[in-house]
Chains A and B, each alone.
Chain A
Amino acid sequence: MFPNSTYAESVDFAFWFIVGISFALLVVISFLMVFFVIKYNRKKQVKAVNIHGNLPLEIIWTLIPVLLTLAMFYFGWMGYQDLSNPPEDSMVVKSTGQMWKWTYEYDNGLKSDTLYVPVNKPVKIDLVSVDVNHSFYIPALRIKRDVIPNRENFLWFKAENTGSFDIACAEYCGLQHSYMYSKVVIMPENEFNSWFTDATNKMNTTLTDTTSIK
């Protein structure tokens, strides 16, 4: 699953940075354990040596992990700051979570059950819940934010490639939780604009139709 935004790339970098260091340390720890168990096996009848400790070693293996974890923290924090500051010119869409579906509403009142957005444009999603907690999650963009009643949460993204991607609910919300999927369709800007115009017109005609029937 390729990362579909600069933010997603920063997440992947932080992830592989931590995985890389962790893997190296895990290999060292495991190798030493196995090596010691073989080398100092009791079958070899060698007398054990009592070593009570070593202060320089303790300091080294405290300080090095401190520095490594501070570096890990730094990359995560920098990436997150990016996520918490949506650009001023973001297009705003309201996403409503309810048991068990998502509805998206654009600023002109247009509603959709699929999230259509233009590529390469910042999009800010305002998150609203009408019942219990949900969590709005787009794996391809590496973003997630809880959707909580009475709380104004949001997130934003700027997708780099067009395509259709899953939106999942990531906070347990009852019976159909695992079916609370929808799609984000990322389109070239002109395609998005024509969809938006068409859909808006359609909405207006439907509205007029209903009025005329009355």
Chain B
Amino acid sequence: MTSHSSSNNGYESYLDYRGKGTGLKSWIFSTDHKRIGILYLIAMLIFFVVGVTFGFLMRLELIAPGKTIMDPQTYNSFFTLHGIIMIFLFIIPGLPAVFGNFFLPIMLGAKDVSFPRLNLLSWWLFIIGGLLAIIAVFLPGGPVDTGWTFYIPYSVRTSTNVFPALLAAFVLGFSSILTGLNFVTTIHRLRAPGMDWFKMPLFVWSIYSTAWIQVLATPIIGITLLLVIFERAFGFGIFDPALGGDPVLFQHLFWIYSHPAVYIMIIPAMGVISEIIPVFAHRTIFGYKFIAFSSIAIALFGSMVWAHHMFTVGMSGAAMFIFSLLTFLVAIPSAVKVFNWVATLYKGSISTDPPLLYALAFIFLFSIGGFTGLIQGSLSVNMHIHDTSFIVAHFHYVMFGGTGFGIFAALHYWFPKMFARKYNMKSAKVGFWILFVGFNVLYFPMFVMGWLGMPRRYYDYLPEYQIYHFISTVGSWILITGLIIMFANFIHALLKGEKTNEMNPWGGETLEWHVPTPPPLENFDEIPIIETDPYQYKDNDLSNTEVKEVN
């Protein structure tokens, strides 16, 4: 993509601009928010492929009972690395760092984020964290095998490389905090004249809620992981029961961050869906304020439900009561969003392009994830399905069916704007359907076997679960086929796809569709003045959209 030349439009696009260096240097030292977004995208997709590979190999191991392709120690490291990579290096940075960086300033009518150099530092911290995670795999001692949750006492007993893995997560935390800080400041300070809070696009609202969680919750995981490092290095005895510490305290501190982190992952995806649905229904969004405030409500209530990850550790009745009740109530703002999205389709003029397909799949899969979350939130039921493959299915429906499909939706939606290339619509749809089918075949059987008592993080299993494991493994092959089609389509588009300078291929109304394709270095020649809501569709004239049948 460096070979792009769109200078014939009389402006210098962010892809052409060289800055101080040339080649690679013009990218990895660039403070342009768009280039940083692309840097994150590349890094994140590489980590995603690694994470998928671990997942694929684990599923292959589980196709039959007993040893299939690896020993238990390898399997334990694989699920740990799969978790660490997917969570800290793919889903958490996924939407905010990639698409937040690229589009937030444009959607606000700004030339960049508030602190561009801090932004570059965040990316470098992300890369250093990622490298540490890779080092954790190859150092003598063997890859970390604690699970991504690092539960004590196991994490102070195992001889594997826990230290670099903890350090990796610690450094990645800083990257996340600084990005959050940058976005909060940008949204407060750099909105274009006239853009009051309720004229902001909903994606911006979602990034705003997310950024606050990043700033407020991430320091807690930083401190906690640092304490585990001290625990291992000096035998502090804060968590280690052998030294008089409390292993449950670790779980509380871990989840005080890691539950809100789930919302860091999902809220921006909800923001993407809120952008895509009105564009492809070609009408105004239904219940703008309800969608905006529900993001805030999720961020707020989501910070107070962490102990529902710990219903079986033996907490007081009062704690169980409160955490279960709040867990049910935090579902309400998500439900409100879903209803408003569906209502936005009503009396629209709906074009089923790939971004919309991914958005609708998001609603369906996220709903299943949400409903099964209610099942887990119920105290008595939780006693049975806690730590079974039911929870594995649940969070993959939320994190992959939700956030993952949200990221794919965003990619399909913004790709032409980011790279000024068209991807093949037919391949995109074929890839989508295979991915969608594969996803359900892969993860749905996990609900069934979890309900039947199959515990999670199991290298081996009883023969009665084999049929479900077998179906699930076949599902992983279908899913990966879909992923390959999707990525091949994007790579093909980047290399050989038809070039396009079309400013607004989908008929969107937010500001990114009013800057040239690809966007110029500082986005706007003149800062726009905002007078209207972001989703007007005032004339609602079909003649504007008919030409949009790309390809």
* Interface residues, chain A, with chain B CB atoms under 8 Å away: 1, 7-8, 10-11, 14-15, 18-19, 22-23, 25-26, 29-30, 32-33, 36-37, 40-42, 45-54, 57-58, 61-62, 65-66, 69-70, 72-73, 75-84, 131-133, 135, 137, 139-140, 142-146, 148-151, 153, 166, 168-179, 181
A42 touches B387 (CB 8 A): no
22 contacts between A and B (CB under 8 A): A1-B453, A7-B380, A11-B383, A18-B381, A36-B346, A49-B347, A58-B287, A58-B290, A58-B336, A65-B332, A66-B332, A69-B374, A77-B321, A78-B380, A132-B154, A137-B453, A139-B384, A144-B384, A146-B313, A151-B313, A153-B314, A179-B460
Q: Residue on A with the closest CB to B384?
A: A142
The one of B153, B371, B387, B542 in contact with A144, judged by C-beta atoms closer than 8 angstroms, is B387
| Closest chain B residue, CB of each to CB of A36 | B345
Answer whether A151 and B346 are a contact pair too, CB < 8 Å, given A65-B332, A174-B76.
Answer: no
Binds A, one of B6-14, B25-33, B241-249, B404-412: B241-249
Question: How far apart are B321's CB and chain A's nearest CB, in angstroms?
Answer: 6
Within B254-286, which residues are at the interface with A (CB < 8 Å)? Answer: 281-284, 286
Q: State in angstroms the CA–CA spacing of A78 and B378 once bound together.
A: 10
Chain B residues with CB below 8 A from A75, complex form: 378, 380
Within the complex, the shortest CB–CB distance from A33 to chain B, in Å, comes to: 6
Whether the pair B352, A73 counts as a contact (CB closer than 8 A) is no
Residues of B within 8 A of A61 (CB): 335-336, 339
Chain B neighbourhood of A174, CB < 8 A: 76, 145, 154, 157-158
Instruction: Return the chain A residue nearest B450 by Cβ.
Output: A139
Residues of A within 8 A of B197 (CB): none
Contact code string B366-390 (vs A, CB < 8 Å = 1, else 0): 0110011011011111111011100
Known pairs A52-B284, A137-B453; A144 contacts B383 (CB<8 A): yes
User: Per-residue 0/1 for B150-180: is the Cβ within 8 Å of any A Cβ (1 yes, 0 no)?
Assistant: 0101100110000000000000000000000
Contacts of A171 on B, CB cut-off 8 Å? 151, 387
**C-alpha gap A175/B320 in the complex (Å):** 31
Is there contact, CB below 8 Å, between B241 and A22? no
Please name 17 further chain A to chain B contacts, defined as beta carbons within 8 Å, in addition to the given A33-B360, A131-B153, A170-B312, sorted by A numbering.
A15-B451, A18-B375, A22-B374, A29-B363, A45-B542, A48-B347, A50-B284, A76-B377, A76-B380, A133-B247, A139-B384, A148-B248, A149-B241, A150-B241, A177-B458, A178-B460, A178-B461
User: B242: nearest residue on chain A (CB-CB)?
Assistant: A149
Alpha-carbon distance A143/B384, docked complex (angstroms): 5
Q: Mark B508-545, 1 if CB is under 8 A from A, else 0.
A: 00000000000000000000000000000110111001
Number of B interface residues, CB 8 Å?
Answer: 89
Those of B390-413 within 8 Å (CB) of chain A: none
Check if B153 sits within 8 Å of A149, measured CB to CB: yes
Q: What is the CA–CA distance of A202 and B468 in the complex, to the nearest angstrom?
A: 43
Beta-carbon contact of B540 and A69 below 8 Å: no
**Cβ of B455 under 8 Å from chain A:** yes
Given contacts A47-B349, A49-B347, contact A73 B328 (CB under 8 A): yes
Among candidates A14, A53, A173, residue contacting B381 with C-beta atoms closer than 8 Å? A14
A-side contacts of B457, CB under 8 Å:
172, 177-178
Closest to B284 in A: A50
Would you give the shortest CB distance from A140 to chain B, in whole angstroms? Answer: 8
Contact residues in A for B340 (Cβ distance below 8 Å): 53, 58
Q: Is the CB of B332 within 8 A of A51?
A: no
- Do A52 and B286 touch across chains, with their CB atoms under 8 A apart? yes
Hey, which chain B residues are within 8 Å of A83, CB to CB?
A: 380, 383
User: B154 and A76: CB pair below 8 A?
Assistant: no
Residue in B329, B368, B540, B545 whose CB lies within 8 Å of A66 = B329
B287 touching A81, Cβ below 8 Å: no
With known contacts A42-B545, A51-B347, A132-B154, A178–B458 Cβ distance under 8 A: yes
CB of A40 within 8 A of CB of B458, answer: no
> B residues bordering A, Cβ < 8 Å?
72-73, 76, 145, 147, 151, 153-154, 157-158, 241-242, 244, 246-248, 281-284, 286-290, 312-314, 317, 320-321, 324-325, 328-329, 331-332, 335-336, 338-340, 342-343, 345-352, 360, 363-364, 367-368, 371-372, 374-375, 377-384, 386-388, 451-453, 455-462, 537-538, 540-542, 545
* A29→B365 CA distance, assembly (Å): 11
A37 partner, pick from B282, B335, B345, B542, beta carbons under 8 A: B345
Q: Given that A49-B283, A73-B328, A166-B453 are contacting pairs, would A173 and B154 also be in contact in the complex, using a CB cutoff of 8 Å?
A: yes
Residues in B neighbouring A53, C-beta threshold 8 A: 286-290, 340
Residues of A within 8 A of B290 (CB): 53, 58
Alpha-carbon distance A79/B290, docked complex (angstroms): 35
Task: Tell me if B345 and A70 are in contact (CB < 8 A).
Answer: no
Given contacts A25-B371, A48-B349, A72-B374, contact A151 B248 (CB under 8 A): yes
B431 to A: closest C-beta gap in Å: 19
Q: B378 to chain A: which residues have CB within 8 Å?
A: 14-15, 18, 72-73, 75-76
Knowing A52-B288, A79-B380, A169-B455 are in contact, say whether A42-B350 is a contact too (CB < 8 A).
Answer: yes
Q: CA separation between A181 and B453, bound complex, in Å?
A: 12
Given A76-B380, A132-B157: A62 touches B324 (CB 8 Å cut-off): no
Cα–Cα distance between A38 and B322 once the two chains are bound (Å): 43
Cα distance A51–B382 in the bound complex, in angstroms: 41
The closest CB in chain A to the CB of B331 belongs to A69
B349 CB contacts on chain A under 8 angstroms: 40-42, 46-48
Which residues does chain A contribute within 8 Å of B374, judged by CB atoms? Answer: 18, 22, 69, 72
Q: Given A22-B371, A170-B388, A172-B154, decide whether A142 and B383 contact each other with a Cβ distance below 8 A.
A: yes
Most buried by A among B312, B371, B542: B312
Pick the 5 closest A-B CB pairs, nearest first.
A139-B453, A79-B380, A76-B378, A22-B371, A80-B379
Hey, which chain A residues are within 8 Å of B541, CB to CB? Answer: 47
